[in-house]
Structure 1
């Protein structure tokens, strides 16, 4: 007896077809949701612009403060030289005696180097750097003492050396020059933490602002959501347009923040450059750059998605067909 035709297997191909159809439907709905959400945002330019401005200002404040701290850190970076002890000689100590002390200190194992600055050279340097050359020229006598600059060796506590050198008979005063730099670094670290705290609060504010905006959008489309759920639309299907709405608000707010920071830097660039020239410094104000601008836009988009997700997760479940 002849065997009949083998049965056709439809299961795998049907499954593949269903998966492909579901993927195309999912992709098309994402495209439609993104386009429709953007159209709705742009259809109300006044309210959308106000939302973007609020988000942009909230994001621009910590970004601008962070850039200011980075520029201050660049300025102070040139001051991070090794700890240096300034030994101001007694007025009665002449240059020869100061030179003998400088040579004896340079031979010590706990001293990396010792440099003598004679009082006449110190006065000339002061006249050049201070701009008071005319006043200095009219002085009856040099008020500055001879100075020995001591750099401690690696691993040596400069405070211990300073206390020891302060007891020398030739020394009138011993000053640890790095103490003020350490205080400045501590102040900058405090400023960095304050900026982080302020940034965290403002980021939370941005999420709450976007969440409230999305909540209002949900309420305005309550009837549409009920109808979609009546015909079988899932929560993910209903949630998708609102997530894109939050994304557009966040991206727009991030772009506004980048523009505000760039405008502030452009406004300050001229005065900062003029001040740097007055102090014979080559410092230039560092801006946010293209990467920083893109990071603000991406951060805004992320915050927009986060705020929309929180709002939709909280309010969408309360809207059900009756």
Structure 2
């Protein structure tokens, strides 16, 4: 009879999974039965995790804006006077086939002179000149996503051409934007570390109060010989749920903020002739927020339980 009972006993891995599953859902049920306290703690966690997430989204959108502006940046190539219009067209066609070039516009010497007469108001004075003083021009738009270094490489390649007289490109604002984005990324990293420490403190304090509230229950479990890992298990899962729900709340807050800002940003972008729209966090960022929340919740709970259990001994 005892042999059959031993044979009916489930395998060790199933018992382990069953124990952890029971502790996991019991921790979730405890949070559900204390809605006000759970809401307050998870709200604080959500706001704390939402701050670095929102800054990450801001930097991503600023990078997209920079890429859009870079797409609008143009390299002006002044061509030597001895280059014929036919050669200018062939050069433009060759440039259009380059992968780092989005668009090439040509302006012959005659077209440049006609535009100058039309828009400068000095048509009569220009007509008195013996020769056309204006050079032919190529206006080259770099490919999207080329980057500051790629645009500079394209400028140097155009500058080395035999037909080139001079190349103009204002890179200073692109370099400033790139430096600003790098500074913001480093700032967000430091800010995230600071807020991660805050999350550990918040979760640890919440679990500490939970341990204190269940002190008598823990004393009874220790009295009957329950191991520390068994006692710690529900508190660790409680920290896990706090971190997960806080991460979900952070994503919701960021999503609501993006929805509220979407229309004003689109109106502002359209006033500059751009179709830019805000984008939310991608799948890697969402996964990082959720995993980060769960990890910080577990670590905070583990530290708090480890300290508190040392002070709880059966009378």
TM-score over 0.5 (shorter chain): yes
Per-residue deviation, residues 192-212 of structure 1 (Å, max 9, x unmatched): 111111112112211111011
Aligned 1:84-233 pairs, distance under 5 A: 100=81, 118=112, 121=115, 140-141=121-122, 176-233=169-226
Q: Provide closer, same or farther for how the CA distance between residues 296 and 215 of structure 1 changes in structure 2, counting only shifts above 3 A.
A: same
How far apart, in 2, do the equivalents of 1:81 and 1:307 lie?
Answer: 46
From the superposition, tell whether residues 280 and 176 of structure 1 become closer, same or farther in structure 2 (CA, over 3 Å).
Answer: closer
Q: In 2, are the aligned partners of 1:67 and 1:288 still within 8 Å (CA)?
A: yes
State how far apart, in whole Å, the 2-side matches of 1:213 and 1:187 are. Answer: 38
Alignment counterpart, residue 238 of structure 1, candidates 210, 231, 256: 231
CA positional deviation for 1:16: 7.4
Separation in structure 2 between the aligned mates of residue 153 and residue 267 of structure 1, nearest angstrom: 35
Distance 1:17 1:122 in 2: 96
Instruction: Choose which of 256, 259, 268 in structure 2 pairs with 1:266.
Output: 259
The one-character-per-residue Cα deviations of 1:220-264 (angstroms, maximum 9, x if unpaired) are 111111110111100110000101111111111111101100100
1:52-91 equivalence runs, <5 A: 52-80=42-70
1:304 equivalent to 2:297? Answer yes
The alignment's TM-score, normalised by the length of structure 2, stands at 0.71
Checking the alignment, whether the CA contact within 8 Å between 1:102 and 1:148 is kept in structure 2 is no
CA distance in 2, matches of 1:220, 1:290: 39
Unaligned runs of 5+ in 1: 1-9, 89-97, 107-111, 125-135, 163-167
CA distance 1:266–1:222, shift in 2 (3 Å) = same
SS of 2:275 mapped into structure 1:
coil
Number of corresponding residues: 280
Tell me the SS of whatever aligns to 1:318: coil
**Can you list the C-alpha shifts for 1:80-109, whole angstroms capped at 9, x where unaligned?**
469976589xxxxxxxxx861877xx9xxx
CA spacing shift, 1:179–1:263, aligned 2, 3 Å: same
User: Bigger radius of gyration, 1 or 2?
Assistant: 1
Shift of 1:302: 2.1
Q: Does the 8 A contact of 2:81 with 2:135 survive in 1?
A: no
Match of 1:31 in 2: 21
Please give the per-residue CA displacement for 1:247-294, whole angstroms capped at 9, x wherever unaligned.
Answer: 111111111101100100000000111112222212121123566545
Alpha-carbon distance between aligned partners in 1 of 2:72 and 2:254, rounded to the nearest angstrom: 35
- For residues 284 and 39 of structure 1, the distance between their equivalents in structure 2, rounded to whole angstroms, comes to 41
**Structure 2 Cα separation of the partners of residues 299 and 47 of structure 1:** 22
Q: Distance in 1 between matches of 2:256 and 2:106?
A: 47
Q: Distance in 2 between matches of 1:55 and 1:153?
A: 43
- Please list every run of 5 or more consecutive structure 2 residues that lacks an aligned counterpart in the other structure: 89-94, 96-103, 124-133, 141-149
CA contact (8 A) 1:211 1:310 kept: yes
1:127 aligns to what?
A: none
For residues 165-192 of structure 1, give each alpha carbon's deviation from its aligned partner in whole angstroms, at most 9, with x where no partner exists: xxx9xx9xx8541222112111111111
Go from structure 1 to structure 2 and tell me whether the alpha carbon gap of 1:291 and 1:16 turns closer, same or farther (over 3 Å shift). Answer: farther
Please, what is the CA RMSD of the aligned residues? 4.3
Q: Deviations over 1:22-71 (max 9, x none)?
A: 54443333233222212221222112111111111111111111111111
**Structure 2 CA distance for partners of 1:38 and 1:80, relative to 1, 3 Å:** same
Q: Which moved more, 1:249-258 or 1:113-122?
A: 113-122
Asked whether the 8 Å contact 2:75–2:155 carries over to 1, the reply is no
TM-score by length of 1: 0.69
